[in-house]
Amino acid sequence: MEDTAFDVIIIGAGPGGYVAAIRAAQLGFKTACVEKEDLLGGTCLRIGCIPSKAMLEASEKFREAKDSLGRFGVKVGQVSLDLPAMLQHKDNVVKANTKGIEGLFKKGKIARVLGHGRISGPGTVSVDSGKGATTLTAKHIILATGSKVAMLPDVKPDGKAIGTSTEALAYDKVPKHLVVIGAGAIGLELGSVWARLGAKVTVLEYLNRILPGMDLETAAQTQSALAKQGLEVDRRKIQLTEAIKTLGEHTVPVKLHRDVTAQVRVTVKKEE
Ligand SMILES: Cc1cc2nc3c(=O)[nH]c(=O)nc-3n(C[C@H](O)[C@H](O)[C@H](O)COP(=O)(O)OP(=O)(O)OC[C@H]3O[C@@H](n4cnc5c(N)ncnc54)[C@H](O)[C@@H]3O)c2cc1C
């Protein structure tokens, strides 16, 4: 890389990072954006908002064609699912969006640096591309490194039997029975995608409501709409066992489903 001195370096090219990079360039700063993945756009564009919305839209079209167009007097023949084509459509949407960011980077003359970035000193960013390291300097550094999937303690996803939202965006066949742990927005949207495509879907949630953080009335409406699509929400209460009779930290096994057990950490403390 020829030019290594910048006004602004941003580490991470998700919605936080790429917007900051584009704005910095618009304001006349000489800008670089360091990203370790080949595609720009971060979680949102690669494995989050965009692919999940593409799958939601596609699965909704499938469900409409199969179950509800007849009501409107629209007759369709035998409806069947071409899952590889649906996944391809999702990949095309992701590609179009990430290419859009690439275009904006080129327009703004933003240097795109591929590799893992780390602040190695005041005003200095080292980028490890896997083939070697480059050192960049900047007057300003912005960290926009995003977040990671939160795992249950002691559960190791293998990407097949147990996976995260990333795998659930690309199953190569419709699962017979999908158990989603957590009735937040991501679990519900991916659960509803696969329910519409024919999977039995059980969402496990230990709170007495879905979508914590959302207005209660909206959450209740959403739950009944999802139930109509066949999405079952199953509440499991953590049974406090004999083991938890002393103050302190405990790890308790909780049976979530027939053959799924999670280890839950519980802290027992005196009421203040
Ligand atoms: C399935 C799913 C659906 C979602 N749907 C929605 C939605 O509908 N609406 C919504 O608002 N949000 C949604 N989200 C959340 C949304 O994706 C995140 O809020 C958003 O991506 C956060 O943006 P960010 O820029 O902070 O981080 P990220 O998008 O995570 O980007 C961070 C980037 O930094 C890179 N990076 C990290 N460390 C380094 C390093 N040391 N060196 C170089 N690069 C590094 C990462 O590779 C990544 O590309 C969804 C998330 C998921 C998983």
Asked whether residue 130 falls in the same domain as residue 12, the answer is yes
Residue 42 has pLDDT above 90, yes or no: yes
DSSP characters over 25-59: HHTT--EEEEESSSSSSHHHHHHSHHHHHHHHHHH
Q: Is the CB of 11 under 6 A from ligand 1?
A: yes
Task: Say if residues 197 and 81 touch (Cβ distance below 8 Å).
Answer: yes
CA distances from 236 to 160, 182, 208, 245 (A): 24, 11, 9, 21
What mean pLDDT is reported for the chain? 90
The per-residue pLDDT for 204 is 87
pLDDT in tens, 171-181: 999 999 999 98
- Whether 255 maps to a domain, the answer reads no
Asked whether residue 67 falls in the same domain as residue 131, the answer is yes
Asked whether residue 95 falls in the same domain as residue 183, the answer is no
Q: How far is the CA of 94 from the centre of ligand 1 (A)?
A: 14
In total, how many domains does the chain have? 2
Mean pLDDT of 259-268: 70
pLDDT in tens, 81-107: 999 999 999 999 999 999 999 999 999
Q: What is the model's pTM?
A: 0.86
Q: What is the CATH number of the domain that holds 69?
A: 3.50.50.60
Residue 271: pLDDT band with limits 50, 70, 90: low
Asked whether residue 121 falls in the same domain as residue 90, the answer is yes
The per-residue pLDDT for 250 is 74
- Whether 269 maps to a domain, the answer reads no
Residue whose C-alpha is closest to residue 9's, from 135, 168, 103, 97: 135
Least confident of 13-17, 239-243, 244-248, 264-268: 239-243
Higher pLDDT pick, 188 / 271: 188
Residue closest by Cα to atom 5 of ligand 1: 49
The per-residue pLDDT for 259 is 65
DSSP characters over 211-250: STTS-HHHHHHHHHHHHHTTEEEEE-PPPPPTTTTSSEEE
Residue closest by Cα to atom 48 of ligand 1: 42
41 CA: nearest ligand 1 atom = 49
Q: Which of 143, 178, 197 delimits the end of a domain?
A: 143
Tell which phi-psi region holds residue 123, choosing left (phi > 0), alpha (psi between -120 and 50) or beta: left
- Whether 82 maps to a domain, the answer reads yes
pLDDT in tens, 44-76: 999 999 999 999 999 999 999 999 999 999 999
Asked whether residue 119 falls in the same domain as residue 186, the answer is no
- Whether 13 maps to a domain, the answer reads yes
Percent of the chain with pLDDT over 70: 90
Asked whether residue 43 falls in the same domain as residue 103, the answer is yes
User: Other C-beta atoms within 10 Å of 132: how many?
Assistant: 8
Domain range for residue 14? 5-143
pLDDT in tens, 112-166: 999 999 999 999 999 999 999 999 999 999 999 998 888 887 778 887 889 999 9
Report the relative pairing of strands 124-128 and 133-143 from DSSP bridges: antiparallel
Asked whether residue 94 falls in the same domain as residue 139, the answer is yes
- Whether 36 maps to a domain, the answer reads yes
Of 37, 43, 98, which is best to mutate to test ligand 1, by the most ligand atoms within 8 angstroms of its C-beta?
Answer: 43
Asked whether residue 130 falls in the same domain as residue 206, the answer is no
Mean pLDDT of 236-250: 59
The per-residue pLDDT for 272 is 65
The per-residue pLDDT for 238 is 45
The per-residue pLDDT for 59 is 97
Q: Is the CB of 186 under 6 A from ligand 1?
A: yes
Q: How far is the CA of 114 from the centre of ligand 1 (A)?
A: 17
